[in-house]
Chains A and B, each alone.
Chain A
């Protein structure tokens, strides 16, 4: 299995809703990432988990809460989002075989719309 899966593919939520994005990989990768991507822009890093521990938080607002239940799963919990949070949310994983390459495998993303 060489893919990263993400659910749901599309999500529409109101500003008072609570929802979660899910990501799964079965490649044995020990690093997992959340990115936010606005239209026509490169992905922006949000969070990095290494060996199931949060290693990087790029000053993301607390309305985004990541969780790594085990080495294969990564969640992003959403609460009280703003319309400007509407974007494509990408999950990625990396084998972490040294920081020389950091080749990443991306999921198809969740298209989030906040009304």
Chain B
């Protein structure tokens, strides 16, 4: 059983459309991160959310941490081909130096 389940697994959309990616768990976390990995590159940290109910915006990307701190969402407005990549949520392990990744969402945005 995966600690962090992401949905959908794969999303293929046209430029200009909106989309939402979800990261769900039955566990409570002190913080949660979102990374984006473009083809052939390493993951890049987009945001860290810490407070339940917190909303953070990064240009066309809106991140929300659930009130109970068990889940998070990433909403992209007016998607562009440059948004194409693998989106990963991740949480820090409580008592080790590990980072636990979600199952991932592959996004393809066509011109």
Interface set of A (CB-CB < 8 Å, partner B): 4, 31, 33, 40-43, 45, 48, 50, 55-56, 90, 92, 94, 96, 99-109, 111
With known contacts A42-B101, A42-B103, A107–B92 Cβ distance under 8 A: no
Among B30, B93, B94, B106, contact of A40 (Cβ-Cβ < 8 Å): B106
State in angstroms the CA–CA spacing of A41 and B44 once bound together. Answer: 16
The 3 lowest CB-CB distance pairs between A and B, nearest first, are: A106-B42, A102-B92, A42-B101
Among A41, A42, A55, A109, contact of B41 (Cβ-Cβ < 8 Å): A109
Residues of A near B40 (CB, < 8 A) are 108-109, 111
Residues of A near B102 (CB, < 8 A) are 42
Residues of B near A31 (CB, < 8 A) are 97
Q: How large is the interface on B (under 10, 10 to 19, 20 to 34, 35 or more residues)?
A: 20 to 34
CB pair A56 B97 closer than 8 Å? yes
CB pair A100 B42 closer than 8 Å? no
From A90, which residue of chain B is reached at the shortest CB distance? B42
With known contacts A43-B43, A105-B45, A106-B42, A100–B92 Cβ distance under 8 A: yes
From B101, which residue of chain A is reached at the shortest CB distance? A42
Q: How close is A29's CB to chain B, nearest CB, in angstroms?
A: 11
Residues of A near B27 (CB, < 8 A) are none
Residues of B near A55 (CB, < 8 A) are 96-97
State in angstroms the CA–CA spacing of A68 and B92 once bound together. Answer: 23
Q: How close is A72's CB to chain B, nearest CB, in angstroms?
A: 17
From B92, which residue of chain A is reached at the shortest CB distance? A102
B1 part of interface (Cβ distance < 8 Å): no
CB pair A108 B96 closer than 8 Å? no
From B95, which residue of chain A is reached at the shortest CB distance? A99
Among A41, A50, A101, contact of B92 (Cβ-Cβ < 8 Å): A101
State in angstroms the CA–CA spacing of A107 and B42 once bound together. Answer: 6
State in angstroms the CA–CA spacing of A55 and B99 once bound together. Answer: 14
Which residues of B in the span 89-111 have a Cβ within 8 Å of any Cβ on A? 92-99, 101-104, 106
